[in-house]
Amino acid sequence: MVREEYAIILDFLPHGYPMDRRPMHLKTSIAHAIGKETLVLLELVPKKDCFLQPHEEVYIGEGRRDKIHHIVSKISPERLTETGKSELHYIIEEIVVKNQKRFVDFYNKAGPINTRIHQLELLPGIGKKHMLALLESRDQKSFDSFNDIKERVKLLPDPEKAIVKRILLELEGSEKHYLFVKNF
């Protein structure tokens, strides 16, 4: 099982959840975050007097943590605050851009799931024709970047946006196959 080392903050609630009716001195601050590697949504409890910002990267791995006291649990997108929901798309785009090699490697290494469907076909906007064009092009030479994919496979939907859309669909939990989000 992959253990997440770093997370990116989606939203920070310094006074806890607004609907929490406990007295102020009993409330704890809460942060919503997404894991950098597993892309799992998490609810975190920051250390006392620690203030977090959206898009901030925090260490959540084993050992001494600077800003995070503990991880409460995995959460579904419905549990995110409105700010968290609105930041989610932008932060996933940032993760995909910063880890371009990881996601381009998906295009280079994706294989069939069974005799009827290929992993590439699970990306939004990619059907049989695009999948076959991608396979033919990558057999000649591996893709180097998203731009390389766009240039070599004509009329293909934006490969970067397809990855972002797929990650968002997987986070919603309605997908049968998970390509990027680790569904523990």
DSSP per-residue codes, 5-44? -EEEEEEEETT--TT--S-GGG---EEEEEETTT--EEEE
pTM: 0.89
- Kindly report the backbone phi and psi dihedral angles of residue 49, in degrees, each rounded to the nearest multiple of 5, phi listed first: 60, 25
Q: Across the chain, which distance is largest between two alpha carbons, in Å?
A: 65
Q: What pLDDT, in 10s, does the model give residues 162-177?
A: 999 999 999 988 788 8
- Average pLDDT over the chain, rounded to whole? 91
- Kindly report the backbone phi and psi dihedral angles of residue 14, in degrees, each rounded to the nearest multiple of 5, phi listed first: -60, -25
Triad 153, 155, 161: Cα angle to 5° = 85
Comparing 14-18, 19-23, 51-55, 90-94, which segment has the lowest mean pLDDT?
A: 19-23
Task: Give the pLDDT confidence score for residue 2 in this predicted structure.
Answer: 64
Question: What is the domain partition of the chain in residue ranges?
Answer: 6-77, 99-172
In total, the chain counts a number of residues equal to 184
Q: What pLDDT, in 10s, does the model give residues 108-155?
A: 999 999 999 999 999 999 999 999 999 999 999 999 999 999 999 989
- Is the predicted pLDDT of residue 76 greater than 70, yes or no? yes
Q: b vs e for 147-183, b when ≥16 Cβ sit within 10 Å of the residue's Cβ?
A: ebbeebbeebeebbebbbbbbbbbbeeeeeebbbbee
Contact 71, 43 (CB under 8 A): yes
CATH of domain 6-77: 2.40.50.140
- Is the predicted pLDDT of residue 50 greater than 70, yes or no? yes
Architecture of domain 99-172: Orthogonal Bundle (1.10)
Where do we find the tokens 């798309």?
A: 89
Q: b vs e for 52-82, b when ≥16 Cβ sit within 10 Å of the residue's Cβ?
A: bebeeebebeeeebebbeebeeeeeeeebbe
- Kindly report the backbone phi and psi dihedral angles of residue 160, in degrees, each rounded to the nearest multiple of 5, phi listed first: -70, -45
- In which band, very low, low, confident or very high, does the pLDDT at 5 lie, cut at 50, 70 and 90? very high
